[in-house]
């Protein structure tokens, strides 16, 4: 039942909203069709980012893809939490690593999803930042890639989506937005800092440079 609900919401409803009402254009979507499992990493400027990325996922794989969201922000409101889990397919995680036994560890939670064959959408900056300005990446991404070097990491650069729902505004405004999906990243070093550097450059590089 949840599979068909997610297909209806993302592959049909949101895809049409983003494509025809907002004007979102997808580039290089074939990369997502050619892979069954991946870690999607993207810049983050809008609460619509996850829905936009989910709308790009092939219909037959949408139920296996989980946006990662901050539990302390989205978990406070029961209705918002319910909608995120059941309609967005998100997984809520704490922002900090576990310090005591019994606490949920965000890296382990994401690793478990990957071990189960699922994919995740991750924003390495950790929070919405200033549009066009990449913030420092959190080390959690590098730790996760070190644990799962066999899984493809695919960079995504989202352009203009912050204008459809700016911070503090609840209305969705039409604006010509673009989503550039890059090719899987080749990591030549699995040093933490090297991973983060390559990941950041790959997100920025997913957007073609003007001629």
**Number of separate domains in the chain:** 1
Residue (of 26, 10, 141, 17) closest to 63 by Cα position = 10
**Inside any domain, residue 188:** yes
**Inside any domain, residue 19:** yes
Share of residues in the chain with pLDDT > 90 (%)? 53
Query: 65: pLDDT confidence band, cut at 50, 70 and 90?
Result: very high
Pairwise pLDDT comparison (116 vs 78), residue with the higher score:
116
Beta carbons of 11 and 33 less than 8 angstroms apart:
no
Signed CA dihedral, 80, 15, 111, 207: sign only: negative
CATH of the domain at 30: 3.40.1130.10
pTM: 0.89
Which tokens belong to 84?
């995120």
Residue 68, strand partner residues: 91
Angle ∠(169,175,178) on CA atoms, nearest 5: 115
State the DSSP code for 151.
S
Domain range for 32: 2-205
**Inside any domain, residue 164:** yes
**Inside any domain, residue 210:** no
Q: What is the pLDDT of residues 136-189, one digit of tens each?
A: 888 999 999 999 999 999 999 999 887 776 566 566 666 778 999 999 999 999
**Inside any domain, residue 51:** yes
**What is the torsion angle, in degrees rounded to the nearest 10, for the CA atoms of residue 29, residue 159, residue 13 and residue 53?**
50
**Inside any domain, residue 211:** no
**Residue 39: what pLDDT?**
98
**Inside any domain, residue 82:** yes
**Inside any domain, residue 194:** yes
Which tokens belong to 149?
């070097």
How far apart, in whole angstroms, are the C-alpha atoms of residue 59 and residue 10? 8
Cβ neighbourhood burial of 13 (10 Å; 0-12, 13-18, 19+): middle
């Amino acid at each position: 039942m949840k599979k068909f609900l997610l297909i209806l919401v993302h592959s049909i409803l949101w895809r049409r909203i983003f494509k025809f009402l907002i004007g979102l254009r997808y580039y290089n979507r074939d990369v997502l069709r050619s892979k069954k499992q991946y870690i999607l990493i993207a810049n983050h400027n809008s609460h619509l980012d996850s829905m936009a990325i989910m709308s790009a996922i092939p219909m037959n794989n949408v139920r296996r893809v989980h946006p990662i969201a901050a539990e302390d922000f989205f978990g406070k409101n029961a209705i918002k939490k319910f909608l995120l889990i059941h309609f967005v397919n998100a997984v809520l995680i704490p922002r900090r690593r576990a310090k005591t036994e019994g606490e949920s560890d965000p890296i382990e939670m994401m690793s478990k999803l990957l071990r189960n064959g699922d994919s995740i959408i991750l924003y390495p900056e950790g929070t919405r930042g200033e549009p066009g300005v990449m913030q420092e990446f959190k080390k959690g991404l590098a730790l996760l890639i070190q644990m799962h070097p066999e899984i493809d990491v695919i960079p995504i650069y989202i352009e203009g989506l912050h204008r459809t729902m700016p911070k503090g505004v609840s209305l969705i405004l039409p604006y010509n937005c673009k989503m550039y999906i890059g090719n899987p990243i080749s990591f030549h070093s699995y040093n933490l800092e090297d991973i983060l550097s390559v990941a950041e450059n790959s997100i920025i590089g997913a957007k073609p440079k003007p001629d």
